[in-house]
Structure formats: C-alpha cells, structure tokens
Amino acid sequence: MSDDTTHFGYKTVNKSNKANLVADVFHSVAEQYDVMNDLMSLGIHRLWKRYAIALSGVRPGQRVLDLAGGTGDLTRLMASKVGSEGSIVLSDINHSMIEVGRKRMINEGLVSNIEYVQANAETLPFADNEFDLVTMAFGLRNVTDKDKALASIQRVLKPGGRLLVLEFSKPLSETLGKVYDNYSFNILPQLGKLIANDSESYQYLAESIRMHPDQDGLKNMILEAGFDHCDVHNLSGGIVALHRGFCY
C-alpha cells in the first residue's frame, strides 16, 4: 500500500476519497442507526457505553468533546454529569448523523449544555488544552489517518485530561472469533438489508472492524501520539475494547 492509499473495508482507495466514502455510508444509515445498533448488538452496546462513562472520570463543570458522537449516545449519558456549569461538544464529520443527534437531544430536553460541531478528527477546530475529556465510540476505525487524529485529540486535551476510545477489537478466543466472523459477514449484512435497506454499508462496517488495529496495536498508537499512559479494558471477550489514554 502506497502513502497515498488506505483501506476502505477490504478495498484499497485513495486517502483523499475515503472520507467521502465513509460519509456516504453514514448518510445512508443515519435514520436507522440507533435501531441497527440495538439489533446488531442485542442491546449490549448500551452496556459498553455505560461502562465507558463509568470509567471516564467525568465530573461537574468539565468540558467534554464527544468525537464521532453520531446520534449522541455518550453525550446524553454525560450531559447530567457535567451539569449546567459544564459543557459537551457533540462532533461528527457527518452532518446527517449530527442532525439525528441534535433532534434526539432536543426531544429529550437536553439543550442547555450541548454544542454541535461538524469536524474532521484529523484537524480538530479547537484550541490547545481545551477539553478535560474526549470520547470516541465506534468511530476511530472510520478515520483515514488514525495517527493524525490521535495527535489532534492529544493537542486539544488539557494536562490531566483523558481520552476514551470504545471500539471493536479482536476476540480473545479463537472459538469466539469464528462465531463472530460468521455473524459479521453472514448475518449483519442481511440485517442491514432488512432494516436499513442497505447491505453494502454493513458489509463495509464488518470489514472495517477487521482492518482496525487490535488491542495492543491501538494502545501503541495512542502512546505514540503523545499520551503518557494507556490502559485497555476488554469487553464481551474482546469483541470490544475500551482504551483510556492519559495526559499528565
């Protein structure tokens, strides 16, 4: 693979094209995204996200960036925790996802301490040392240049701040891995076709998970981006992993 190319699922594409290809995927699935998340994970994604927030250390008065925040699952969990003196920026590269998230927050009465910013994780439009916490749930694997994104996140975190990356990872057992592969490539696209009328986008999502770094690989990337420490918490047998990066 050359310096000008990257992965889009199992395909090799020009780096300049990947963001648009990913955008097309999420424009397509935005309206059914929450329904599909529940179906794909049998609702377990809600437990993964609650676990992440429980380990986030988020407190009243803090400023938080929910990056690749999509429809706002993490934002809504954190809104009451930062309180009226704190604030959350729900950010995503995809305007369709942001709009679904904005409508959801308004419908749930969460309006006073949430901002919405369309942004690319690789070039965050925020000042240095602006945030106490940056969260990213199931979004990093879709970023074209992950190293650049992690460095951008590290730049906007305050000293003492932390990064939480919740992402699909590598199952810890071979047996679980085989079951997971069968589900991902045979059942998941069919669910996408049935519910969202879009099997190709969910085929891409399955492929993108396999192309994402494993637990140790992502830990090393976070440390190389300038974080001082990173710990890893495997969930559901390693199907998902929570990485916490710390800036001291």
- CATH ID of 5-246, from 3.90.1150.10, 3.90.180.10, 1.10.3720.10, 3.40.50.150: 3.40.50.150
* Residue boundaries of the structural domains of the chain: 5-246
Please name every residue paired with 115 in a beta bridge, in sequence order, or none if there are none. Answer: 89
Q: pTM to 2 decimals?
A: 0.90
Which residue in this structure is represented by tokens 């890893």? 232
Length of the chain: 248
CB 34 within 8 A of CB 26: no
**Interatomic CA distance for residues 89 and 196, integer angstroms:** 28
**Interatomic CA distance for residues 222 and 225, integer angstroms:** 5
Please name every residue paired with 12 in a beta bridge, in sequence order, or none if there are none. Answer: 7
Per-residue pLDDT of the chain (248 residues; tens, 9 = 90+): 566 888 777 777 788 777 777 766 666 665 666 666 776 787 899 999 999 999 999 999 999 999 999 889 999 999 999 999 999 999 999 888 899 899 999 999 988 899 999 999 999 999 999 999 999 999 999 899 999 999 999 999 999 999 999 999 999 999 999 999 998 888 888 877 877 677 787 788 888 889 899 999 999 999 999 999 999 999 999 999 999 999 99
Contact residues for 75 (Cβ-Cβ < 8 A; gap 6+): 66, 69, 88, 90, 101, 105, 110, 114
> What are the Cα distances from residue 215, in Å, to 79, 152, 172, 198?
29, 21, 10, 30
